[in-house]
Structures are given as structure tokens and as C-alpha cells.
Structure 1
Amino acid sequence: MSADINRDVVLPLDEYDNIEEAVSLAQRAETMGYGAVSVGETAGRNVPLVLSVVAERTDEIGIADDVISPYSRSPAAIGQTAVTLQEISDGRFRLRIGASSPALAERWHGLEFDRPLRRVREAVEIVRQVQSGQRLEYDGEIFSPDGLTLECEPPEPPAPVDVAALGPKATELAGRFGDGWVPQLLPYEQLQARLGDLKRGAELGDRQLDDLRVAPLLRCCALEDGERAREYARSQLAFMIAVYGPFYRQAIADAGWTELTERVRDRWHESGREAAAAAITDDLLEAVVAAGTPAEVRDQVERFEAIDGVDAIQVAFCGGMSDDERDRTLEALAPSR
């Protein structure tokens, strides 16, 4: 592992019976030298509340959401969240904004999933205004808040605002307006190609690629039984392709796996998860996740870390892993190891 690259960890909040278990993993990650912990939000627990507990019970590790969507909260409310968590954490918070998915926007929040890129851009700009402490005045195409000012002290420094994106235009937006980029499930070569889109966006925003923190999320499973680890990864990848959202499937298809992604989706809906997972080929698995024995997984993670422009790898787990298996994976990839 390069000394210039951070390793972060994603807390699998939906895998735990209670919040205390997630906090315990964050504390262990801190003692192992991980740079940050993040928590994703779908239709379960309210993530900013969980992050406030993590911030209170840790001392140095960074904290972040993965991700907050402007379909789930107004941009001003997202800005208030950033202000509050930056205060609670003594400046350790990074805000991540992303469009999320049509399923969550429409079926959970009851909103039409319209103009996601524009909505994300406006949210990022409004959050910056909120954190500045100045009067909120924004005349957008979607959001037009006007006339109020943050009623507490603005954070100093303000929380950085990263953008979660996969497609070329969305990644360009991240480069132009965000402080960082947090992609998930991009194949190795596609990740390299997208860095060109990020650079173009940075240049449009009069910035350099080095000004942005690039932190891909990589699903990992490191077990002595390498084949069992790969089974977890195949199952996770099948779910992401077939069910979780169209953007992940499209990103993998765009990288040259169109027929395979269609086969995985069809098998899932025709025969179930196990049949879909069996359709995941070894070459796709190697391109997208890090699964196998501890030595194999360390090599795979280091391969992603070696991509020019990557600043951190977010170590995420595969669904279905036990607490012990997550702990072994965390230990195998620990920066202080």
C-alpha cells in the first residue's frame, strides 16, 4: 500500500441488528489506521443520526455519508446536516451528494426522478452557500431558496462536498463542482477512462485534478477460503446488476459487458439470485471487486490504488458476510498491517 493512498471503510449498516455494532466496527477501523468511515442510506436508518454517534465515539477517523440525495432532503437541509456533523466531529466530516436511484426517489420518497444531474449540481451549490453563513439566495431551475441565513456559526473549514457519479456527464459534473468523486462498481479500465471525464470537469471549473479527492468504493471479501469469498462477491455483484439500480448495470455494460449484464438480469428475474450469481464470470469479478484469499485481495486492492489520480479506496463488504468474515477482511486490508 502506498503511503500516499488512504484506505477507508464503509459500514454495512443494514447488516446490523443495532447501531452499536456499526459504531464498534468504526472504532476498530480507527485503531487499525483506516482514514475514514462512511455509511450508506437507502430506506433504513437515518444516516446523519448514526454518523453523529460515530463522530462522538471516535477521535481521529474521518466520517462521511454514502450518499445523501437531493430527492430525500432539500439542499438547505443537506447543508444544515453538513454544518452540524462538521461541528460534532470537530472538522472530520465529508459530505457526499448523489442522485441515488429512480427506485428510491420514486418508490420511497414519492418524487419523480427527473433531471438528476441538474438537481445534484444545484444541491452542491446551495450547500456551499448554507455553509458560508451568508444569506441564502439561489435562483435555480429546480431549487430557488431565498431570504434566510444559517442561524448558527458556519463551520470553519466547511465540510468538503463530494459527488457520487458513474456516467461521463455526471463524472464531469463532479470534477467541475465537487471537492471529490466517489464512484462505485466501476470496472478497473472504466475507472481509468472516467478520470479523463473528471479532469475535463475540473478544467471547466478552473481547477486541477489534484484538487479533487478520488475515492472509489470497492467491494471486498478476504477469506482463507478464497472460493467462498468469491461466492459472496458474485452474489453481491448479481444483485447490483439485476436489482439495485440501472446506473450500475449501465456502467458495467458500457465497459464491454452488455450481453453479460443482460444475462445476469434475466437469470435473476427468471430463476433467482443463485442462477444470476452463477452467470458472473471470473474476468468481470476481477475487474469490479476484490475477493479471494487475503493475499489475493490485497493485490487486487493495490491494483486499484495504483491508478494515477486515485487518492483513497473505500473498502466495502459483500452482503451476507458474517461479523467474523467482515472483521477478517478489515484486518487483512488494514493500513497499519
Structure 2
Amino acid sequence: MKLGLSLSYQSRWSTPADHLALAQEADRLGYSVVWVAEAYGSDSVSMLAWIAGQTSRIDVGSAVMQIPARTPAATAMTAATIDTFSGGRFRLGLGVSGPQVSEGWHGVRFDKPLGRTREYVDIVRRALRRDVLAYDGEHYTLPLPDGPGKALKLGFRPLRADIPIYLAAVGPKNLELAGEVTDGWLGIFVAPDQIEGQLASIAAGRTRAGLDLKGFDVVASVPTVLGDDVATCADVIRPHAALYVGGMGSRKQNFYNGIAVRMGFAAEAAEVQDLYLTGRQRDAAAAVPQDFIDRTSLIGPKDRIKDHVQRYAESGVTTLSLHLFATDRESSIATLRAVAEAYEAAGVA
């Protein structure tokens, strides 16, 4: 198992300089990859290109580039460009986002996400191979049949045609798709004691493609807080967990709420959602079970974190990516170093 760093998008609590400093420190410490997210603020592509130009060894990955935000051809162009300019250090993480962002921000209907994702990945791979793009799918048609367009191919030769592609997935069917058509899974709220079922879904997809799990990258993005008191560390993560479990989606469709339900927190997940959607975010955060946070995070002193790192490695996670919840740059860098030391002590490299 390797270590990674999960950077979020820009917010009022962060600066581009903070994120660059963390990426450079992770590069120095030997972390394998730095991931950058996007929602409806700063985009992942710009940040990744900027970070790639100021690091030397660490891979840079999108977690994610939103499928409704870009055509598959545009995504292939971007992936080929960043990978070539970085010397082969780019990883393309994709995700359909959710209905509120897809329809409210991008104006793209959130329907048949599995079929759209399958076609999207297929077109990206063809474009990276420099195939002439002629595609007749349910969701994508290239070129359009009733206009002057013609089938084209990527206009330069990228460094790699086989840039690794990852899929952010939660439900069983999406996990199967990740196993079938991509090279890795981007997981959130991953619990070592629950991952067996998720890996089984991925393995089913791999089998359908005539493959096994060997070489497939299982990435767990884990909230990380270093400190002496476990409960205090958990409190730092509560607003984040409440946002996802309670507010990231509607009552009818919240994928992250479903994770909590499958972990055995059905009543608690319903309460968090009710509180969050009625404007009581502080109460929603307080209602997130500490056990949910503990099972999906790295919290507490370094020795305790070492034990949890071992659990993730034993569970089948191949990249443990830290989502830092420190209050400032210095504390974040100290956490990066402490977890690297715990990782070495755990002997899971």
C-alpha cells in the first residue's frame, strides 16, 4: 500500500500557496500521488497543471474531473496534455458528480449515469490511442450526423496512450463498472471492515472484462486529524461528514447517506439528513456517530494512526490518500510527516 494526498478545491480556509506547499512536502516525503477535487468552484485541471509544474516525482490526479462538465474529447485532450508536460505523472479520475451539480451547475441531465460513464470512458481511451473518433452510442454520437463535422483524431502524439483512468464510485453497480472499464477506484468513507463487499463488486466487473484485481488501484480518501484526544479529533471531521451524509444530495438520492446506511447507521443517517436539510447543520454534525468517523478516518495520536494504517493495508486498499483537516499549513505539514512515519513503522510499503 502507498500513501497519497487528497487536496480539496479552493475555499475560504485555504490558499493556492497552502495546497502547493502540501503537494511539495508530499513529493519530498515520497507520497505516490496528490489528488485534486472540483465541485462548482476551483477546477481540478488548473490546480493539477500548476502543481505538476512545481513538483518532480509525485503523480498528480483528478479526483475528480466531472463528466458532465466536459466532453470526453476535451477530457482526453487535457489528460494527454498534463501527462505529457509532467513526464507521465497524470492520473485521470472521473465521476458523474450528483444531480444537483450536474443539472443545476452544468445543465446536464443526470440520467442513466452508468451508461453515460461507460461511453465516456470508451471515447476517452479511443482518443488517447489517437483513433479516428467515429462513435455511435446512446449518449454520444461523433461526428454529429446532420452537420459539417468529420471524424478526427488527437492532433499530437501524447507521451502515453494508456493514462490510468479511475472512477469515483459508491453503489454496487458503479463499483462493478469501475472494475470493468477503469484502472482504479476512488473511494470515500471507506471502512476497512466494510470493504470486502465493495471489492467483490469491483472483482465482478474485472471478471466481466477478463481481468482480476491484480494491478487495480483501490484508493481510499480518508479524513486525517492528528491529536491526543480521539473524540476531539472526530469533532473536527463532523461538519464534513454531516455535509456528505446529510446534505450532499436530496432525500431520495444521496449516495453518501447510503454508505452510512450500509455500515449499519440507518437511523443515525436519517437523523443527520433530516437535521441538515432543515437548516440545522450544527445539530447534524453533532448527530454523526463517532464510530462512523473512526471507522472511515485516521484520528488520534501517531501510534493509533499506525494501527489504522495497518488495517487499511490488510483490507485491500492499495493507496491510502490523506484528506487533512489540520487548521493551518504548518499543522498540515506536521501531519503529513507524522503519518509518513506511522506508515514506515507499520511496515506496509
- TM score, norm. by length of structure 2: 0.90
Q: Is the 8 A contact 1:169 1:197 kept in 2?
A: yes
Aligned equivalent of 2:120: 123
Distance 1:189 1:227, change over 3 A: closer
Q: 1:166 aligns with which of 160, 166, 170?
A: 170
Cα offsets for 1:210-250 (capped at 9, x unmatched): 13111111111112344331111222211111112311111
Match of 1:11 among 7, 11, 28: 7
Residue matched to 1:323: 329
One-letter amino acid of the structure 1 residue matched with residue 141 of structure 2: S
Letter matched to residue 285 of structure 2: A
- Aligned in 2, Cα 1:293/1:272: closer, same or farther, shift over 3 Å? farther
Residue 311 (structure 1) aligned with residue 336 (structure 2): no
Does the alignment pair 1:36 with 2:42? no
Query: Is the 1:39–1:51 contact (alpha carbons within 8 Å) kept by the matching residues of 2?
Result: yes
Alpha-carbon spacing, 1:298–1:12, altered in 2? closer, same or farther (3 Å): farther
The match for 1:89 among 80, 83, 86 is 86
- Amino acid in structure 1 at the alignment position of 2:305: V
What is the aligned partner in structure 2 of residue 264 from structure 1?
272
Q: Distance in 2 between matches of 1:125 and 1:67?
A: 17
1:150, distance to aligned residue in structure 2 (A): 0.6
Contact in 2 for aligned 1:83/1:158 (Cα 8 Å):
no
Secondary structure of the corresponding residue to residue 45 of structure 2: helix
Query: How far does the alpha carbon of each residue in 1:253-293 deviate from its partner, in whole angstroms, 9 at most, with x for none?
Result: 12321111001111223462221122122322222222222
Equivalent AA in structure 1 for residue 39 of structure 2: T
Cα distance in 2, alignment partners of residues 289 and 103 from structure 1? 27
Q: Is the contact made by 1:75 and 1:127 (CA closer than 8 Å) also made in structure 2?
A: yes
Match of 2:238 in 1: 234
Query: 1:280 maps to which residue?
Result: 288
1:1-337 aligned within 5 A: 5-15=1-11, 17-146=14-143, 147-245=151-249, 246-270=254-278, 272-308=280-316, 310-318=317-325, 321-334=327-340, 335=343
Q: 1:157, CA displacement in angstroms?
A: 4.7
Q: Is the 8 A contact 1:86 1:158 kept in 2?
A: no
Q: Match for 1:263: what amino acid?
A: E
Shift, 1:296, TM fit: 2.0
Distance 2:84 2:120 in 1: 21
Query: What is the rounded CA distance, in whole Å, between the counterparts of 1:119 and 1:157 in structure 2?
Result: 22
Give the whole-Å Cα distance in 1 for the aligned partners of 2:189 and 2:14: 26
Task: Tell me the CA shift for residue 251 of structure 1.
Answer: 1.9
Q: Gaps (5+ residues) in structure 2?
A: 144-150
Deviation at 1:301, TM superposition (A): 2.7
CA displacement, residues 275-327 of structure 1 (integer Å, 9 cap, x when unaligned): 1122122322222222222322232232112113x211111124x73333322
C-alpha distance in structure 2 between counterparts of 1:198 and 1:36, whole Å: 22
User: Following the alignment from structure 1 to structure 2, what is the Cα–Cα distance between the partners of residues 190 and 167?
Assistant: 13
The answer to whether the 8 A contact 2:234-2:294 is kept is no
| Corresponding residue SS for 2:160 | coil
- Count, aligned residues: 331
Distance 1:100 1:324 in 2: 32
Q: Deviations over 1:12-59 (max 9, x none)?
A: 332455323211110011111111101001111122111111111111
Conserved? CA contact 1:11–1:39, under 8 Å: yes
Q: Provide Cα deviations, 1:77-132, integer angstroms capped at 9, x if missing partner.
A: 11111101111110011101111111210111122211111111111111101100
For residues 147-171 of structure 1, give each alpha carbon's deviation from its aligned partner in whole angstroms, at most 9, with x where no partner exists.
0111111332531111110110000
Identical positions, percent: 29
3-state SS, counterpart of residue 71 of structure 1: helix
TM-score normalized by the length of structure 1: 0.93
